[in-house]
Amino acid sequence: MKDFIPVNQPDLTGNEKKYLQECVDSGWISSEGPFVEKLEIGMAELCNRKHAFAVCNGSAALELAVKAIGVVKGDEVIMPTFTIISCALAVIRSGATPVYVDADPKTWNMVVEDIEAKITERTKAIMAVHIYGLTVDMDPLLSIAKKYQLKVIEDAAEVIGQTYDGKPCGTFGDISTFSFYPNKHITTGEGGMVLVNDDELATRCDSLRNLSFGKSDRFIHKEQGWNFRISNLQAAIGVAQLERLDQFILKKREIGLRYGKLLSDCPNIQLPLIRAQKVENIFWVFGIVLNNDRIKDAKQIMKKLCEKNIGTRPFFYPMHLQPALKEMRKDPNLSFSISENLAARGFYLPSGLTLLDEEISKVAEALKFLLQK
């Protein structure tokens, strides 16, 4: 057992070292190495997509997706307020306005039933962000998008390997994105992926992530792109990780179910759902929400757990309350009570792939003791 139990630690005991050594031995360490293509093919196959484009991180994947589908200044994109700021920044940096939807109190995903009322003549797309291992209810969301001819951006960063109604996440958007940050189901250290089926959209993604170099005249640029490329070194780690994805998913579900069993008799917390509409939780993280009137701020418990050498991390802070985004709010008077409550009372426990059973037991025991004091 570790002296300090971190909130996350990746499992790098597969072929990571072997593939990294191959990169060094071959000299292929840039973005043109063979592991980049292998990772792209692997993710495309996982998600039944025609095209995959590896990028340097998940935030880059979102920015690329937003621009590629044609979101421009004056447009609006409907998205959850309970999410990571990268989602909102991708919209804002395109010149568009994010329009927020509150979270469901049980799944913590965006309330799909609230989307239609947010649609205006300026709405260009819906950004569906799957949260903490459960998915957005995609069937009704896709029906709304089809009815109003809206694009769908699917952020599947937190559900690599997850399925909804038997279909892999990363399948549902006009364009879908992933992150390979170290706390994800698979990691490249820093990295991301963009997935599409449409050939024209694929050509655009490929160009935009690579500075929009010209086809015939390389250094004549007709559009402003980015250097969002991933290195062969990063991709090598990703290929090794992808080889063990099924094992990692099983481990995450075991962690989630064990926590759930140990904390099932604790009356002061809301546990994550094991399953929801057409989906079984993949437990990217094991989050809890305090429902004790005596303890209204999760930071109190998190601090005490840290004193016991147990790492935690707070839930997302809603986009509509972000100081950095204050001037971009479409309606500054709107309140999203569920998301605000999740931010105040929610946090997640150690959930990394190297977590031991005895460490889970220690965390659960410490948490129950603190809540019963």
Q: Domain range spanning residue 305?
A: 246-372
- The per-residue b/e assignment along 185-195, b for 16 or more CB within 10 angstroms, e otherwise, is bbbbbbbbbbb
Among 251, 135, 232, 127, CA closest to 186: 251
pLDDT of residue 210: 94
Question: Among residues 190, 217, 242, which one ends one of the domains?
Answer: 242
Residue 323 is given by DSSP the state G
Is 83 a member of any domain?
A: yes
Q: What is the pLDDT along the chain (373 residues), one digit of tens a residue?
A: 779 999 999 999 999 999 999 999 999 999 989 999 999 999 999 999 999 999 999 999 999 999 999 999 999 999 999 999 999 999 999 999 999 999 999 999 999 999 999 999 999 999 999 999 999 999 999 999 999 999 999 999 999 999 999 999 999 999 999 999 999 999 999 999 999 999 999 999 999 999 999 888 889 998 899 999 999 999 999 999 999 999 999 999 999 999 999 999 988 899 999 999 899 999 999 999 999 777 778 999 999 999 999 999 999 999 999 999 988 777 777 889 999 999 999 999 999 999 999 999 999 999 999 988 7
Question: Among residues 192, 227, 242, which one ends one of the domains?
Answer: 242
Say how many CA atoms lie within 13 Å of 148 toward its Cβ. Answer: 22
Q: Scanning the structure block, which residue is given the tokens 């204050």? A: 326
Is 6 a member of any domain?
A: no
Round to whole Å and give the CA distance between 244 and 37: 18
213 and 260 part of one domain:
no
- For the chain, the domain total comes to 2
234 and 250 part of one domain:
no
**What would you report as the CA-atom Rg of the chain, rounded to the nearest whole angstrom?**
21
295 and 164 part of one domain:
no
Q: What residues contact residue 127 under an 8 Å CB cut-off, 6+ apart?
A: 77, 78, 79, 80, 87, 91, 152, 153, 154, 155
CATH number at residue 221: 3.40.640.10
263 and 221 part of one domain:
no
Is 4 a member of any domain?
A: no
Is 2 a member of any domain?
A: no
207 and 306 part of one domain:
no
Is 8 a member of any domain?
A: no
297 and 224 part of one domain:
no
pLDDT of residue 372: 84
Among 174, 190, 189, CA closest to 228: 190
CATH number at residue 297: 3.90.1150.10
44 and 70 part of one domain:
yes
**pTM, two decimal places:** 0.96
Is 67 in contact with 61 (CB distance < 8 Å)? no
Among 351, 68, 26, CA closest to 198: 68
Round to whole Å and give the CA distance between 288 and 208: 39
Question: Which element (helix H / strand E) includes 259?
Answer: helix 245-263
pLDDT of residue 326: 84
174 and 73 part of one domain:
yes
237 and 272 part of one domain:
no
Q: Which two tokens stand for residue 39?
A: 């990772």
pLDDT of residue 2: 77
Q: Which two tokens stand for residue 104?
A: 């469901």
Question: Among residues 242, 275, 298, which one ends one of the domains?
Answer: 242
Is 356 a member of any domain?
A: yes
228 and 349 part of one domain:
no
204 and 307 part of one domain:
no
33 and 140 part of one domain:
yes
pLDDT of residue 335: 84
pLDDT of residue 214: 84
Among 103, 107, 110, 132, CA closest to 8: 132
Q: What residues contact residue 49 under an 8 Å CB cut-off, 6+ apart?
A: 43, 170, 171, 176, 195, 196, 197
pLDDT of residue 348: 97
